[in-house]
Amino acid sequence: MNKISNLFGHAVVLACGLSFVLPAYAASPLAAHRAVYDISLKSAEDRSGISGANGRMVIEFSGSGCEGWTVNFRMMNQFFLTGGKSRVLDSRSSMWESGKSDQLRYVQRQFVDSKLQEEKELRAKLAAGRSGGSGAITKPKEEIFSLPEGVTFPVDHQLKIVKAAEAGQSRDETLLYDGSDGSNPAVAITFIGSKRDAGKDQTDAKMKDVNGLSGWPVSISYYKPDKQDQETPEYQVSMVLYENGVSGDMSLNYGDFVLNAKLINIKLLEVNSCD
């Protein structure tokens, strides 16, 4: 069960990967929003020890290019284990990234059966010219670390992905740092499909903010920098990225098991203006 809870330690990278936003210096058609997803088990290998799962995931993106962007994320799941037992995993995180995408703060708390299991807090900053950076972890234990040249924070990474999609490109590779794995960055490899009308089948009134919107099928695989040549990523998320920045139904692949995340409610939020 430790493996499952550790995988949810990386949940914020999914949140960042699902909350697309452009910095203030760009004309952004992408929406601040609160999205709710129902979680179910798609598949699981015998070695995972999982026979079923259900839960909910909520992603809220807000802010502005002046005050910075905030992604609040919560995923709560009940996992049914072979043998009849079950465990409830609750992962909560909040990430703030500056409007210029050169500073980041990250807080995460993980609960297992309502008991706090792990807590993380850190901050990071990129050097001028993006020639690397530095950071400081305050929880679970204090640590000063450096970031390599070429590293990118999540909001800036998503701007890159959106630009690539709009330009008709099909692949991107980025050295990404989001704080979910302490001081360690990840190699994010993204494949982008052809633009299509992703929302034409949505009829629920709760989905009105994505009804009829076009979008792209997107798949993002995350590798450790020294293992990016391996066939199997550490984890993978596949989704439809709507043109307003909302992510539709998703597949969350953690290796030994795969979760479905079905978008059931979407609400656009007011964007704070710069004075």
Percent of the chain with pLDDT over 90: 49
Provide the pLDDT for residue 203: 54
Q: Read off the pLDDT of residues 19-45 as tens digits, 9 standing for 90 and up.
A: 433 333 334 445 788 999 999 999 999
Provide the pLDDT for residue 2: 40
What confidence category does residue 3 fall into, taking pLDDT thresholds of 50, 70 and 90?
Answer: very low
Does the pLDDT at position 84 exceed 60?
yes
Residue 245 lies in a domain: yes
- Of 133 and 162, more confident: 133
Provide the pLDDT for residue 166: 84
Provide the pLDDT for residue 40: 96
Percent of the chain with pLDDT over 70: 82
Q: What is the 3-state secondary structure (H, E, C) of 147-198?
A: ECCCCECHHHHHHHHHHHHHCCCCEEEEEECCCCCCCCCEEEEEEECCCECC
Provide the pLDDT for residue 122: 96
Residue 225 lies in a domain: yes
Residue 274 lies in a domain: no
Q: Read off the pLDDT of residues 228-246 as tens digits, 9 standing for 90 and up.
A: 667 788 889 999 888 777 7
Residue 273 lies in a domain: no
Residue 73 lies in a domain: yes
d(CA 240, CA 196): 10
- Judged by DSSP in three states, 257 sits in strand
Task: Give start and end residues of each alpha helix (H) in the chain.
Answer: 2-8, 11-18, 154-166
Provide the pLDDT for residue 225: 85
- Of 225 and 56, more confident: 56
How many domains does the chain contain in total?
A: 1
What confidence category does residue 15 fall into, taking pLDDT thresholds of 50, 70 and 90?
Answer: very low
Span 82-110, average pLDDT? 92
Residue 67 lies in a domain: yes
Residue 275 lies in a domain: no
Provide the pLDDT for residue 140: 93
Q: What is the mean pLDDT of the chain?
A: 82
Name the strand (E) or helix (H) holding 78. strand 68-81
- Of 220 and 84, more confident: 220
Provide the pLDDT for residue 213: 77
Provide the pLDDT for residue 97: 92
Does the pLDDT at position 16 exceed 50?
no
End-to-end CA distance of the chain: 49
DSSP state of 101: S
Q: Read off the pLDDT of residues 193-232 as tens digits, 9 standing for 90 and up.
A: 998 765 555 556 666 667 777 788 999 999 988 766 677 8
Does the pLDDT at position 18 exceed 60?
no
- Judged by DSSP in three states, 206 sits in helix
Helices and strands counted in the chain (H then E)? 3, 14
Containing structural domain, residue 159: 2-268
What confidence category does residue 272 fall into, taking pLDDT thresholds of 50, 70 and 90?
Answer: low
Residue 136 lies in a domain: yes
**Which residues, other chains included, contact 4 with Cβ-Cβ below 8 Å and sequence gap of 6+?**
48, 50, 79, 87, 89, 254, 257
